[in-house]
Amino acid sequence: MNWRERRDSTNVHYLLVTSDQLGIAHETCLQASGISPAGLQAGDSIELWQELAVVRNLVTACPKPGLGLLLGEHYHLTSLGLLGYTMLASRSLADALEVSSRFRALSLSICPVSLQPDPEGVYLTLDQSVLPADARATVIERGLGAWLRVFSELLQRPFVPLKVELNLSQPASLARYREYFGCSVDLQAGRNAMLIAEADLHAPLPLANSMTQAACASLCQQLCASAEEVHTPLARQVMQALLSHTGGSLGAVEVAGLLGLSERSLHRRLALEGHAFRLLDARVRCNLAEQLLRDTDLRLDAIAQQLGYTEAASFSRAFKRWSGTSPAHWRRQQRFSLATGGASLLT
């Protein structure tokens, strides 16, 4: 488990919403996490260990069983951002789960999630072995509760698992779990899992759209691939930070602050790895711009806004520097190539 992996702060936001419900101060939850209220307000990304620190602080302040169930109630498909929309446009629950697995880097899970076949369907299993003992119950309950709501929104109807299995040292009452999940619950199981019925797995999703799903999946792939292309550790962290803030203007000073470095140290260490911040930033913006130009019908001003530019003209100048041509011309070329390629397949 890479606890230095960067994520957006959605999970921490929900942790603090829950702390408000319980009357616990934000300062208590954020203690020793390295997360500032100002950073959260600005939408700064965080590292996984920081989220875990907030979880443990909340558990310490409110050590009652079932805390994770309360956390899970805050999650929706929109919590997953682009990944959530890709899942929503999928053909079936099984297809949506495959999408979630393929783009795990974009998910909000803090522990490994796996699918295990069963004669009645498939078990969605959460691996608690990577978690410290005091955080396990809360993280597992939160994860299963979040999936329960995501599945309901995908199906556009209440989702009820066939069975829930739990292996927690300090579980809530059996009655509480049965009421929450609406099914039989085994508290003496050897794993933490939810059994999804075969019928639910293959039921057509009401909002399925193959073209939308393909376009969204392409963007998800680009988001994942942009970070994976860079293999040196600091450059990858910079790429992940930039990918988390594609809708805003994030410069070297801000990225350095997110990574706990001075701007000078950031530039020096990137140079030692053979990278320059300016080129990493350009790569992220160029890759996303190409995806949006090719796979959507968004106007140039809308694309410019998504990439953090205040006007289409600024975006057009930047894109011409990256690619040698204007975004409008690049889009026409791509669509002409696609049209002629498609025609050749039909002849």
Instruction: Report in angstroms the alpha-carbon separations of 141 from 146, 200, 273.
Output: 8, 22, 41
* Residues 46-64 pLDDT 10s: 889 999 999 999 999 999 9
**249 vs 186, more confident:** 186
Q: Which residue has the tokens 């066939």?
A: 162
Q: Are 43 and 249 in contact (CB under 8 A)?
A: no
* Residues 184-236 pLDDT 10s: 999 999 999 999 999 999 999 999 999 999 888 888 877 776 655 666 778 88
Report how far residue 196's alpha carbon sits from residue 162's, in angstroms, rounded to the nearest whole number: 6
Report how far residue 317's alpha carbon sits from residue 329's, in angstroms, rounded to the nearest whole number: 13
**173 vs 249, more confident:** 173
Q: Which residues contact 236 (CB under 8 A, 6 or more apart)?
A: 227, 230
Tokens found for residue 239 = 């790429």
**pLDDT value of position 344:** 35
The model's pTM is 0.69
Amino acid identity for residue 9 in this structure? S
Report how far residue 259's alpha carbon sits from residue 88's, in angstroms, rounded to the nearest whole number: 33
Phi first, then psi: give them for residue 195, nearest 5 degrees. Answer: -90, 120
Q: Which residues contact 31 (CB under 8 A, 6 or more apart)?
A: 57
Give me the mean pLDDT over the 341-345 stretch.
40
pLDDT over 60 at 341, yes or no: no
CATH 1.10.10.60 fits domain 229-339: yes
Three-state SS for 194-217 is: EEEEHHHHHCECCCCCHHHHHHHH
**pLDDT value of position 140:** 98
**pLDDT value of position 345:** 33
**pLDDT value of position 336:** 67
> Rounded to an integer, what is the distance from CA 280 to the centroid of its chain?
21
Domain ranges for the chain: 1-63, 70-208, 229-339
**pLDDT value of position 45:** 78
Phi first, then psi: give them for residue 63, nearest 5 degrees. Answer: -85, 35
Q: Are 103 and 83 in contact (CB under 8 A)?
A: yes
Report how far residue 148's alpha carbon sits from residue 126's, in angstroms, rounded to the nearest whole number: 13
Residue 247 pLDDT class (50, 70, 90 cuts): low
Share of the chain above pLDDT 70, in %: 93
Average pLDDT, the chain: 88
Report how far residue 330's alpha carbon sits from residue 318's, in angstroms, rounded to the nearest whole number: 13
Q: Which residues contact 9 (CB under 8 A, 6 or more apart)?
A: 35, 39, 40, 43, 44, 45, 46
* Residues 106-149 pLDDT 10s: 889 998 899 999 999 999 999 999 999 999 999 999 999 999 99
* Residues 259-311 pLDDT 10s: 889 999 999 999 888 888 988 888 888 888 887 887 777 889 888 887 888 88
> Rounded to an integer, what is the distance from CA 164 to the centroid of its chain?
24
**pLDDT value of position 325:** 85
CA angle 57, 253, 245 (to 5 degrees): 65
Nearest to 104 by CA among 126, 123, 74: 126
pLDDT over 70 at 340, yes or no: no
* Residues 66-122 pLDDT 10s: 999 999 999 999 999 889 999 999 999 999 999 998 888 888 999 889 999 999 999
pLDDT over 60 at 170, yes or no: yes
* Residues 39-48 pLDDT 10s: 888 777 788 9
pLDDT over 50 at 347, yes or no: no
